[in-house]
Amino acid sequence: MKLNQKFNYPKSIRAYLNGQRIYDVNSEKLPSVTTILSATQDPEKKESLLRWRAKIGAKNAEKITREATNRGSAFHDILEKYLLGKLNLDLLGDNTLERQMADQIIENGLKNQVSEIWGVEACLFYPKKYAGASDLIAIYNGKPSIIDFKNSTQLRKDEWNFEYYLQLSAYQMAHNKVYGTDINQGVILVCTKDLMFQSFVIDSERLKNYQEIFLRKVDEYYKMQLNNN
């Protein structure tokens, strides 16, 4: 795979404003994609999370969440270094779970699928609406794609990826809007703690559906902000 820096992705400053993550991009302070999704989350999902916390206890819930966050950060860092050519693949003694999970993604989801890399952890923004950072923008199996890496405690079903697909659609819209591209494929590459690999690929028709849902959430988010001011 080759690195082709054909687009000038902006530098951004990630910050928090009123407890919410924002991106300062081109003098615009924009809410992150995850901030919008969190603020407009389905009440049923919020209730489900509260029930889970109550069932296992607040301390255990915090511990599990913190471990998953730390694991995800390390896992993403390894993949970023690999894609930028900064990872020593022959490093002996690196048997951490995160490294083994990243190796599964590399061997099964990147080596033979990605031919050209456009951006890694690239800041994307939709003017006056939102911003975020895409794990990977690349040619995947011959098609320009937005790609995200996920770690999971178990094998996933397609229907569990609703918010992941909303993220992909948000990044796709932002890239196409700002750079005039026609990216119409989204890819989720997953590795579980048991080192099981999965890939989920969604095409243009499915992405259009998620675009519409996400844009409604953007409108809902800004209405909520007006009501809170």
User: Beta-carbon neighbour count of residue 82 at 10 Å?
Assistant: 19
- Lowest-confidence segment of 49-58, 68-77, 170-179, 206-215 by average pLDDT: 49-58
For residue 48, is pLDDT > 80?
Answer: no
More confident residue, 26 or 114: 114
Phi, psi of 106 (to 5 degrees): -60, -50
Domains of the chain listed by start with CATH number: 2-228 (3.90.320)
Say how many C-beta atoms besides its own lie within 10 A of residue 107's C-beta. 11
**Tens digits of per-residue pLDDT, 173-193?**
999 999 999 999 999 999 999
Instruction: State how far the Cα of 99 lies from the Cα of 89, in Å rounded to an integer.
Output: 10
Band (92; pLDDT cuts 50, 70, 90): very low
Residue 91 has pLDDT above 70, yes or no: no
List the single range of 60-69, 79-88, 135-144, 161-170 with lowest mean pLDDT: 60-69
- Rg from Cα positions in the chain: 18
> 140: closest CA among 189, 206, 181?
189
Contacts of residue 159, Cβ cutoff 8 Å, sequence gap at least 6? none
What tokens appear for 178 in the block?
A: 């700002």
Q: Above 60 in pLDDT, residue 159? A: yes
